[in-house]
A and B are shown apart, each in its own frame.
Chain A
Amino acid sequence: MPALHRFAAGFIALFHRRRAEQELDAELREFLDSAIEDKMRAGMSRESATRAARMELGSATAVKDRVRDVGWENIVETTWLDVRYAARTLRRSPGFTVVAVLSLALGIGANSAIFSLINTLMLRSLPVSHPEQLVELLSRYPGEPRMSSFSWRHYEHFRDHNQSFSDLLAVSRARFQVAAEGSEPEAIDGEYVAGNFFSALGVQPALGRVIDGQDDQLGSATAASAVVSWSYWTNRLHADPAIIGKAIIVNGAPATVVGVAPQEFFGLQVGIRPSVWLPAAMEPMLQKPSRQLDGTLGVGMLARLRPGITIERALAELRVLDRYRIEDFAKSRSAAFARDFSIELEPAAAGFAALRDRFATSLVVLMGMVALLLLIACTNIASMLLARGAARQHEMAIRVSLGAGRVRLVRHVLAESLLLSAVGGLIGVALASVGAETLVRIMLSGREFLRLQQRIVIDVQPDLQVLLFTAAVVVGTALLFGAAPAWHALTSAPASSLRVHGAAGETRSRRLFGKTLVVLQVAFSVVLLSAASLFVHHLSNLRNQDFGFQRTSLLLVTLDPSKSGYAREQLFSPYQDLLGRLEGIPGVRSVTLSGVTPISGAGASRFIRVEGFDEAAEARRYVPLNWVGPRYFETFGTPLLAGREFTFADRGGPPVAIVNRAMARYYFGDKNPIGGRFQFVGPSNSGITGAPPDQMYEIVGVVGDAKYLDLREIPPRTIYLNAYQEPRMPANRFALRTTDRPGAVASEVHRIVREGLKTVAVSDVTTMDDLVDASVVPERVIAMLSSFFGGLGASLAALGLYGLLAYTVTRRTNEIGIRMALGAAKSDISRMVLRSALGLVCAGFVIGVPLALLSRRAASRVVSDLRVDSMWPFVLATATMLAIALVAAYVPARRAARVEPVEALRL
């Protein structure tokens, strides 16, 4: 067992280092003494014997080193020594250390932060058995994000007819009023699940049992069963094991708690943590009318692929089965509309794709940028280390002469790099967790999340994966920026650098290498800066495009009359009064109300038939609708092109409508649309209007095109109806055009609503500007972060440039002195320095601009509607870089110009 013996002995030696050292010393001394005695016995004088013996022994230090190298514990020891030595060296140059550590902390921190988001949203597997077998079914409609939304009816069809899946499960999100025994009801997130939900996932209960197929039978005796989440059980049910078999009250109906889900199981959608799971068969007991009974309960579907079945094969089968869904749509809506639906399959080891789809693009783009940022930081530190290496050549040479092995020197240089990188990494991890939290908060301020009922919680606390990733980045970074100095330590020639002091070892190739590093920094920075200006430009295009309405100075107030005691039929005159009173607020120009707020992401639409316009069934499209009050177009600032706005007086009169220009063009061409008539056909998918079918509407006005659902869309053909002609009030969204800051009148609005409509709640107050901002969150995040990273990268590059120039000026002080003595003017000297700076920067541009062009092409592939035709981002980026570089070059240039010829020559 030599290996075991070696290990144990090394371990002991590690803790008895001093004694081991003393013994080795004594042994060598004894060796030397014996040798001297031998030689004296052979007739040498003590003096010459001593000298000869010492010569034979060689360097005692070297011998001891070789003996020490035998044990593995030596590696531990010397590494510790290397690290301590590195720490001492770094402490001696605090300026360098601080800059290096900070830039590394930012670089590594940014990488770690973005990665932890990617990890949480895209990579982390669900805590279920064999998550890699899971796939998600997604429905796609052209021009819309794909959705995980199907009907229970479709689920049953897929479930009963597929051959590809060993299990197909359905889950429907819901919000419940839940009360445990003796507590007040509270609104919590829950899910209706198909009976095979838990068994298909392989999730074992922490307590009790899970919902099974028996529970999920309509009318089953155990349909009123509930599995609660671990956190609900601990926080609301006091972690009481006796709860199993007792009832909680869900939406007023009792449900027996049959089990507690395991602690790590949070459901299938990252970000949403349901507290209770109910069998889908319980839905009819809680919802009236039930959607489960008529098969329209909205569900998401996850499937487990049978062994050996590929995603492609499963998808081929699903496409056939999907005809059922399309025919179903065709029956209820229109064949043309239904035909456009398609089905997709997506690996779902990480759960449902909704959040992933929303943010993957931004995160991938950001990951690319932070990687580039770290590369700049690396290059920057490498060039600083090289400059320091040149200064420390002398020290290195002495160490080599004293018997230090080359390997030891390289290890020392690498220890320094690793130490820098590790300290940077530690600070980086701290920065990352703050950064990731902030990023999550910003991302969740998006419009689609404001509207969600569910509470979204995205946990980005660094887990093992993130820490491993960060550690890998730390080591990789250290190797990257430590490689050049280490290589240099390995190849430096000690003798020559000991001989020539000062400009020692400053070879041509090394200078060229230093310059190359600066050029690379500039190049990478140009890429980052042009990406930044590209994304900023993209964002401002989105924000400042023509919406078809004036977005500034528009206050949006949503009322909720549902619990007010007013029936919707009764709201017409109270709302009319309210409009009048709101108009009276000083600073308010006009007020209106509408059923839909533009670009809020929600809306209603119907099929229409226009009198005198024959439209093929395939060409028929849903036409977005809005119910608006008088002065709507005046308030929103949408131009009235022909005809008139709605009035209160229309109430009771023949039904009228206003259409937008796109609609007028499409249906009426060059003819005058005023007086044209249309009617709605097919079922309503809005549920708002109570107008009788076949009602004819007469067009009384034409307005400019305006964005409807989203600010990225081309304004669709849109119909506006008069809210005051509906039998029931369809509009609860008030809009106030103000003369200055819209927020200033908000409190007055609150007061007036309270006074006039005591029981009606104000459910939301915002401004159109905020709504625009909330609609462009991913773009804002990218623009903001890319500007930050671009600025940081450029600053680092400037620092690198400054370092190189300052060093060059110091090195060339002598030469500059001679030039000045020979009659060069101060301005010539500073121009010389600036010129070399300019040379480096331009070389950086030559590499950077093509790189930037390439990365823009890559970015345009992932970021939709990114403009790729303009050269402006590059002009802007290069100009910015140039300006920053000139500032950086200014200081050394001035110092060069201040060189006193006499002083310089004396050096």
Chain B
Amino acid sequence: MSAEQKASTLVQGTLHMLILKTLALEPMHGYGVGVRLEQISKGVFKVNAGSLFPALRRLERDGFIAGEWHVTENNRRAKYYALTAQGRATLKRETKDWEQQSAAIARIMSASLGEL
């Protein structure tokens, strides 16, 4: 299974959360979000445009992020997305859920017979 395929399977549930987290660090345009995700995950998650843009549109529609047009450092116009208050709350909630879940999963995966 290639990294990209792995990404697309992961994307379903978590891409939204990852995007929210990325945008919580600083407002960013579409390409930047993709690059940042790849960077932080050290190349494990490679999000293509076909997944990224629909996700951004959905988050925007849900009112979790808001886009604004700004001039980039390269003097081009780009749509910068930023978290809304609602998005911030959602991220907080999802982060908590995720931590609980992943801790639980980690415990299960590392369990040995002796512990039972």
Using CB atoms and an 8 Å cutoff, list the residues of chain A in contact with chain B.
1-2, 5-6, 9-10, 23-24, 26-28, 30-31, 33-35, 37-38, 56-58, 62-63, 66-67, 69-71
Contacts of A28 in B (CB 8 A): 49, 53
| Cβ–Cβ < 8 Å partners of A1 in chain B | 63
B34 to chain A, nearest CB (A): 8
Alpha-carbon gap, A9 to B50, bound state (A): 21
The reply to whether A69 and B54 contact each other, CB–CB distance below 8 Å, is yes
CA–CA, A30 and B32, complex, Å: 10
Nearest-CB residue, chain B, relative to A56: B48
Most buried by B among A5, A26, A31, A38: A31
Contacts of B78 in A (CB 8 A): 27, 30, 34
Among residues 24 to 60 in chain B, which have CB atoms less than 8 Å away from a CB atom of chain A? 29-32, 34-35, 48-50, 53-54, 57-58, 60
Residue in B31, B50, B63 whose beta carbon sits within 8 Å of that of A62 in the complex: B50
Q: Number of residues in B with C-beta < 8 Å to the partner?
A: 24
Hey, which chain B residues are within 8 Å of A69, CB to CB? 54
Contact A30 B77 (CB under 8 A): yes
Q: Apart from A10-B61, A30-B78, A66-B50, what 4 extra A-B contacts exist at CB < 8 Å? A: A5-B61, A5-B62, A5-B63, A67-B54
Main secondary structure, interface of B, reads: helix
Q: Closest residue to A71 on the B side, CB-wise?
A: B61
B76, A2: Cβ atoms under 8 Å? no
Nearest A residue to B34 by beta-carbon distance? A31
- B43 vs chain A, min Cβ distance (A): 14
The yes or no answer to B74 lying at the interface (CB within 8 A) is yes
* Leading 9 A-B pairs by shortest Cβ distance: A5-B63, A2-B62, A34-B31, A70-B57, A30-B78, A31-B31, A66-B54, A6-B61, A67-B53
Contact A63 B49 (CB under 8 A): yes
For the complex, give the distance between the alpha carbons of A27 and B69 in Å: 10
Q: Is B21 an interface residue (CB 8 A)?
A: no
User: Is B88 in the interface zone, CB < 8 Å from A?
Assistant: no
Interface string of B65-98 (1 = CB under 8 A from A): 0000000101011110000000000000000000
Task: Please tell me if the beta carbons of B49 and A57 are within 8 angstroms of each other in the complex.
Answer: yes
Subset of 27 A-B contacts with CB under 8 Å: A1-B63, A2-B61, A2-B63, A5-B62, A6-B63, A9-B60, A10-B61, A23-B79, A30-B30, A30-B76, A30-B79, A31-B29, A31-B30, A33-B76, A34-B29, A34-B78, A35-B31, A37-B74, A38-B35, A56-B49, A58-B50, A66-B53, A67-B57, A69-B54, A70-B57, A70-B61, A71-B57
Specify which chain A residues have a CB less than 8 angstroms from the CB of B64 in the assembled complex: 2
Q: Smallest Cβ distance from B23 to chain A, in angstroms?
A: 15
B26 CB to nearest A CB, Å: 16
Q: Which of A2, A38, A71 has the most CB of B within 10 A?
A: A2
Interface centre among B49, B74, B77 (most CB of A within 10 A): B49
B31 touches A26 (CB 8 A): no
Which residues in B have their C-beta under 8 angstroms from that of A57?
48-49
CB atoms of B48 and A58 under 8 A apart: yes
Q: Is the CB of B61 within 8 A of A27?
A: no
For B74, list chain A residues within 8 Å (CB): 34, 37
* Docked complex Cα distance between A67 and B49 (Å): 10
A1–B90 Cα gap in the complex (Å)? 11
Q: A31-B31, A70-B54 are in contact. Are A6 and B48 (CB under 8 A)?
A: no
Residue of A nearest to B35 (CB): A38
CA gap between A6 and B34 in the complex, in Å: 24
B residues in contact with A56, CB < 8 Å: 48-49
Minimum CB–CB distance for B53 against chain A, Å: 5
In angstroms, Cα B53 to Cα A74, docked, is: 15
In the assembled complex, the CB of A6 is this many whole angstroms from the nearest CB of chain B, namely 5
With contacts A38-B35, A63-B53 taken as known, whether A27 is within 8 angstroms of B62 at the C-beta atoms is no
B79's closest neighbor in chain A, by CB?
Answer: A27
* Cβ–Cβ < 8 Å partners of B61 in chain A: 2, 5-6, 9-10, 70-71
Q: Which residue on chain B has the smallest CB distance to residue A13? A: B61
Which B residues are in CB contact (< 8 Å) with A31? 29-31, 34, 49, 53
Alpha-carbon distance A328/B71, docked complex (angstroms): 103
Residues in A neighbouring B31, C-beta threshold 8 A:
30-31, 34-35
The answer to whether B50 touches A63, judged by C-beta atoms less than 8 angstroms apart, is yes
Contacts of A24 in B (CB 8 A): 53
Task: Determine how close the nearest CB of chain B comes to the CB of A623; give it in whole angstroms.
Answer: 87
Q: Which residue of B lies closest to A2 (CB)?
A: B62
Most buried by B among A37, A67, A71: A67
Query: A residues within 8 A CB of B29?
Result: 27, 30-31, 34
Contacts of B48 in A (CB 8 A): 56-58
Complex contacts, B30 vs chain A, CB 8 Å: 27, 30-31
Q: Given the complex, which residues of B lie within 8 Å of A9, measured CB to CB?
A: 60-61, 63
Select from chain A the residue with minimum beta-carbon distance to B32.
Answer: A34
When C-beta atoms are compared, the residue in chain A nearest to B53 turns out to be A67
Of the candidates A5, A10, A27, A37, the one having the most CB atoms from chain B within 10 angstroms of its own CB is A27
B-chain residues with CB within 8 Å of residue A27 when the two chains form the complex: 29-30, 53, 78-79
Chain B residues within 8 Å of A5, by CB: 61-63
Give the residues in chain A near B60, CB-CB below 8 Å: 9
Closest to A57 in B: B49
Min CB–CB distance A51 → chain B (angstroms): 16
- Tell me the bound Cα distance from A122 to B76 in angstroms: 72
Q: How far is the CA of A5 from the CA of B57 in the complex (A)?
A: 12
Q: Which residues of A contact B62 (CB under 8 A)?
A: 2, 5-6
For residue A66, which residue of chain B has the nearest CB?
A: B54
Taking the closest CB of chain B, its distance from the CB of A76, in whole angstroms, is 15
Q: Closest CB-CB distance, B11 to chain A, in whole Å?
A: 12
With A and B bound together, what is the CA distance between A241 and B83 in angstroms? 67
Contacts of A34 in B (CB 8 A): 29, 31-32, 72, 74, 78
Minimal beta-carbon separation of A492 from chain B (angstroms): 25
| Chain B residues, Cβ within 8 Å of A70 | 54, 57-58, 61
Bound complex: CA of A9 vs CA of B66, how far in Å? 12
Assess whether A58 is in contact with B57, with CB atoms less than 8 Å apart.
no
In whole angstroms, how far apart are the Cα atoms of A2 and B60 in the complex? Answer: 10
Q: How far is the CB of B73 from chain A (nearest CB, A)?
A: 10
Q: How far is the CA of A30 from the CA of B48 in the complex (A)?
A: 14
Smallest Cβ distance from B37 to chain A, in angstroms? 14
A485 to B54, CA, bound (A): 31
Q: Complex Cα distance A58/B61, Å?
A: 24
Q: How far is the CA of A5 from the CA of B62 in the complex (A)?
A: 6
Instruction: Give bound CA distance, A63 to B35, whole Å.
Output: 18
Q: How far is the CA of A66 from the CA of B57 in the complex (A)?
A: 10
Distance (Å) between the CB of A836 and the closest chain B CB? 50
- Cβ-closest chain B residue relative to A58: B50
Q: In the complex, A496 Cα to B58 Cα: how many Å? A: 37
Q: Residues of A contacting B49 with CB < 8 Å? A: 28, 31, 56-58, 63
Cα A63 to Cα B54 with chains together (Å): 8
A71–B31 Cα distance when bound, in Å, is 21
Instruction: List chain A residues, Cβ under 8 A from B58.
Output: 70
Which residue from chain A places its CB closest to the CB of B33 in the assembled complex? A31
Q: How far is the CA of A30 from the CA of B78 in the complex (A)?
A: 6
**CA gap between A30 and B50 in the complex, in Å:** 15
Q: Nearest Cβ in chain A — how far from B63, in angstroms? A: 4
Compute how far the CA of A24 lies from the CA of B49 in the bound complex, rounded to whole angstroms.
12
- Chain B nearest CB from A30 CB (Å) reads 5
Bound form: Cα–Cα A121–B72 in Å: 74
Instruction: Quote the shortest CB–CB distance from B81 to chain A (angstroms).
Output: 10
Q: How far is the CB of B16 from chain A (nearest CB, A)?
A: 11
- Kindly provide the distance from the CB of B54 to the nearest chain A CB, expressed in whole angstroms: 5
Give the residues in chain B near A26, CB-CB below 8 Å.
Answer: 77, 79
